[in-house]
Amino acid sequence: MPKHRLTTPGPTQVPEQALLAMARQVTHHRTPEFRCLLAEVLADLKHVFVTENDVLLLTCSGTGAMEAAVVNLVPHGGKAIVLSSGKFSERWAEICEKFGIRPVRYEVPWGQPFEPGRVEQLLRQHPDAVAVFSTLMETSTGVGHDIKGIGQVVGRSDALLVVDGISGVGATECRTDAWGIDVLVVGAQKALMTPPGLALLAVSPAAWQQIESIDRPAFYFDLPAYRKALRGPNTPYTPAIPLVAALAESLRSIRSEGIEQVWARASLLSRATRAGIEALGLELFAARPADGMTAVRFPEGIDGKALLGRLQQRFGVKLAGGQGPVAGKIFRIAQMGLCDELDVISTLSAIELVLVEMGQPAKLGAGVTAASRVLAQTGGELCPHPGASDEAAAELRR
Amino acid sequence: MPKHRLTTPGPTQVPEQALLAMARQVTHHRTPEFRCLLAEVLADLKHVFVTENDVLLLTCSGTGAMEAAVVNLVPHGGKAIVLSSGKFSERWAEICEKFGIRPVRYEVPWGQPFEPGRVEQLLRQHPDAVAVFSTLMETSTGVGHDIKGIGQVVGRSDALLVVDGISGVGATECRTDAWGIDVLVVGAQKALMTPPGLALLAVSPAAWQQIESIDRPAFYFDLPAYRKALRGPNTPYTPAIPLVAALAESLRSIRSEGIEQVWARASLLSRATRAGIEALGLELFAARPADGMTAVRFPEGIDGKALLGRLQQRFGVKLAGGQGPVAGKIFRIAQMGLCDELDVISTLSAIELVLVEMGQPAKLGAGVTAASRVLAQTGGELCPHPGASDEAAAELRR
């Protein structure tokens, strides 16, 4: 029975309680039981997103929710500023173009962050832009963008701020209301530790005002229908019921810790990973690395695909490679969700061992040692493992 | 521990093997394992749909796949014939209107079937109609439409035939290729015995030709992206991985029986249910009832909501009420998927007992007796329960 160690930035590993919730017989969604479950999920999501805005639940991938944000906010022929820094932020522009919306691109090279000052200039040059589409964590490069800073400059304009937080939210700090995010898009299969199939949107009153002022080519993604269904609360179309049950379990665990502690853990594990990677003589790819994910350049002259394949065959460690222009040039390790200190150590150890096996000059133990030094600075309070006390046992029996 | 007997026309009960498949740890979708799983699912779906056409898998509700069919086939400003006979067939027209497509409606009263001759007339009057949107089983009324007959008249025109088989396919006979269905839309949460969250499309070469000839306001639902991903096979965006694993299990069971046998069972169980309902003095709602679902008028003077509530409280039997104009007037019982002879008997018995408790003139035992007479005509070969033979035990251990 080989062990599988899924360490990609989505899908991520799902807690046992969430997996078991999916093994229960399906119930109907037009029932008090489902409304009760959904109400709990939506309340917990508000905690995780740090928002009082409406939270909507869609059955689709994150891309579907990105489309929903675009077509509900910007009319055909309208203009939007798109901050593009990799595969997923560029997707905002692709969606805009598909729907006859003119994207004004602010492009930075892959691996680089956006500068809020440049966003401010663009907003001045394009006062007719309806929205700024940006990204919290660019999953293709591991960059964590300065959404707080971007939110300040967008807040001084008439444009709405839309943030793709699909892979970032729940790992890296994101304060929806305080930072002025009008529409936050989130995927459940990343830091929210739920299998793929659900996407979430948090929509501000200002965004609703814009949504209601335009006609849109949307039926399944027509957001006012989801808002109306919130009265149940319910969803306008049949939702992926077992995934909602799984999400409820994962959110219970996040909420019981508190989102600030969850962010702090992802930050600690990411710092430890970065220290380990650099101690191995490898180079980080992101100029401003996000908490929750680490992108690393393959060493010169190594066959990246062979390295990733060997990590999986030898140790069951599944990492993500690069996409598009960085395919074969980088690999990506997640530090989000169900990830703790020893997962970081194991992953670094596997990388060390495989690098040495492949004839690379990595020093055995250097990566795990450097990471351990970072981890040793905390007393372990960020990665609690409740011991076998009577209280913990009673809790598990409930 | 009260028993739950979900007997609605979607979501339906899910087999144990499919539930357990969802409890497995999530794997990544860009892997040989997932491609292998998806290839098996797509091959089994071709068997169930009786088609050689491309089958596409989308993560969304059935409504999302209906939207995909509309926007990929008919351009803005184009014309389509919509056969409208209830809540779900009328949705075709609503989607068309949302996307600037002119629906020419052929409306029949709720509970009535379409006449192929009338469709032929409309096609002659509207030779510029790109497609005919129709429905195999109207879930809101229980009518099974004559898609074979409609397919013959559409086949003599230039229009494409699109069929909403969301709740019908896998229960009532549907021969995609032989009947000339260009786009078949199916939901996994009905007769395919999978939790909600996946929709399927079978797309003919003629439909692909039309799809490639137009521009469409679609990104998440852009079908050529799904077709391209079939080469993996894979999906363009992250799919609901555990639901695909569950679908694979349910399809294995359908395929091992053969779709013809599965149709025959739904037909038998539906005939038994109809006989039982009529023996109870209740009236069937559909003029042409579909195999797989039975819609029944509430008796005069009874509080329908109270009856359904009592069925659930007293016996855990969850039936569906009516929607829209027939809310409070009808209720609906599914005979699809994980439903066998004794489920039919149990449901009829629960209805009998509750009717009598509510002071209705139903004769105790009349419904189950009439249903039993229908069931007794077969030797049980349509509802196999493998006995505890050594072979069956060995199979279960595999």
Q: A59: helix, coil or strand?
A: strand
Q: Which two tokens stand for residue B185?
A: 């839309």
User: Half-sphere exposure of residue B352, counting CA atoms within 13 Å on the CB side?
Assistant: 21
Residues with Cβ within 8 Å of B137's Cβ and at least 6 positions away in sequence, in order, are B143, B144, B145, B165, B167, B168, B171, B172, B290, B292, B293
Each domain of chain A, given as residue ranges in start order, spans 16-257, 258-376
> B5-9+258-376 has which CATH code?
3.90.1150.10
* Distance between CA atoms of residues A244 and A238, nearest Å: 11
Tokens describing residue B38: 């998806």
Residue pLDDT, tens place only, A86-105: 999 999 999 999 999 999 99
Chain B residues within 8 A of A318 when measuring between CB atoms: 28, 31
Fold for A16-257, please state it. Aspartate Aminotransferase; domain 2 (3.40.640)
Q: Which residues of A touch B22 (CB under 8 A)?
A: 19, 22-23, 195, 242
CA A152 to chain B, closest CA, distance in angstroms equals: 31
Tokens 């009535």 — which residue?
A: B112
Q: Measured between CB atoms, which of A20, A22, A60 is closest to B220?
A: A60
DSSP readout, B3-61? --EE-SSSS----HHHHHHHTSPP--SSSHHHHHHHHHHHHHHHHHHT--SEEEEEES-
Cβ neighbours of residue B157 closer than 8 Å, sequence gap 6 or more: B123, B127
CATH superfamily of A258-376: Aspartate Aminotransferase, domain 1 (3.90.1150.10)
Q: Copy the structure tokens of residue B170.
A: 């896998």
* Minimal-distance CA residue of chain B relative to A217: B99
B24 and A27 within 8 Å at the Cβ level: the answer is: no
How does DSSP assign A185-221, residue by residue? EEETTSTT---SSEEEEEE-HHHHHHHHHS--S-STT
A62 touches chain B (CB under 8 A): yes
Distance (Å, whole) CA B80 – CA B99: 12
The residues near A397 (Cβ < 8 Å, ≥ 6 apart) are: none
Contacts of A245 in chain B (CB under 8 A): none
Residues 200-219 of B with CB under 8 A from A: 217-219
Long-range contacts of B395-398 (CB under 8 A, 24+ apart): none
The order of strands in the sheet holding A283-284 is A283-284, A293-297, A330-334, A320-321
CB A56 within 8 A of CB A206: no
Q: Mind listing the pLDDT tens digit for each residue in B276-295?
A: 999 999 999 999 999 999 99
Touching check for A67 and chain B: CB below 8 Å?
yes
How far is the C-alpha of B75 from the C-alpha of B70, rounded, in Å? Answer: 9
- Pairing state between β A198-203 and A183-187: antiparallel
CA distance B100 to A168: 37
**What does each C-alpha distance from A281 to A326, B124, B147 come to in angstroms?**
20, 74, 66
Q: How many CB pairs under 8 A join A and B?
A: 171
Residue-level pLDDT at B387 = 67
Instruction: Report yes or no: A63 at the B interface, CB cutoff 8 Å.
Output: yes
Q: Is A156 on the interface with B (CB under 8 A)?
A: no
Residues linked to residue A161 through DSSP beta bridges, in sequence order: A132
Categorize the per-residue pLDDT at A1 as very low, low, confident or very high, splitting at 50, 70 and 90. Answer: confident
Q: Give the one of B59, B98, B238 whose C-beta lies nearest to A218's C-beta.
A: B98
Q: DSSP letter for A60, please.
A: S
Could you tell me if A161 and A154 are in contact, meaning their C-beta atoms sit under 8 angstroms apart? Answer: yes
Residues in chain B: 398
Tokens of B176: 């995609």
- Residue A35 CA to residue A239 CA, distance in Å, equals 12
Task: State residue B288 phi and psi, 5-degree precision.
Answer: -135, 85
Q: Does B333 touch chain A (CB under 8 A)?
A: no
Kindly tell me the burial class for residue B386, based on how many C-beta atoms sit within 10 Å of its own C-beta (0-12, 13-18, 19 or more): exposed
CB contact under 8 A, A196 and B238: yes
| Backbone CA torsion sign across A337, A340, A346, A348 | positive
Residue B189 touches chain A, beta carbons under 8 Å: yes
Residue B76: burial class (beta carbons within 10 Å; 0-12, 13-18, 19+): middle
Q: How many residues does chain A have?
A: 398
Q: For testing the chain A interface, which of B4, B12, B61, B133 should be mutated: the one with the most A CBs within 10 Å?
A: B61
Residues of B in contact with A187 (CB under 8 A): 238
User: pLDDT value at position B193?
Assistant: 98
Taking the C-alpha atoms of residue A274 and residue A283, their distance in angstroms, rounded to an integer, is 9
Burial of residue A45, with CB atoms counted within 10 A of its CB: 0-12 exposed, 13-18 middle, 19 or more buried: buried
Interchain CB distance below 8 Å, A242 and B195: yes
* DSSP secondary structure, B85-118, as one string: -SHHHHHHHHHHHHTT-EEEEEE--TT----HHH
CA nearest B111: which of B299, B348, B290?
A: B290
Instruction: Compute the distance between CA of residue B132 and CA of residue B148 in angstroms, rounded to an integer.
Output: 14
Q: Is B238 on the interface with A (CB under 8 A)?
A: yes
List chain B residues with CB under 8 Å of A8: 28
Give me the residue from A14, A197, A222 closest to B240, CB to CB: A197
> Could you give the residue ranges of the DSSP H alpha helices within B240-298?
241-257, 259-279
Residues of A in contact with B94 (CB under 8 A): 219
Q: What is the pLDDT along chain B (398 residues), one digit of tens a residue?
A: 788 999 999 999 999 999 999 999 999 999 999 999 999 999 999 999 999 999 999 999 999 999 999 999 999 999 999 999 999 999 999 999 999 999 999 999 999 999 999 999 999 999 999 999 999 999 999 999 999 999 999 999 999 999 999 999 999 999 999 999 999 999 999 999 999 999 999 999 999 999 999 999 999 999 999 999 999 999 999 999 999 999 999 999 999 999 999 999 999 999 999 999 999 999 999 999 999 999 999 999 999 999 999 999 999 999 999 999 999 999 999 999 999 999 999 999 999 999 999 999 889 999 999 999 999 998 788 888 876 667 766 766 65
Q: What is the ipTM of this complex?
A: 0.95
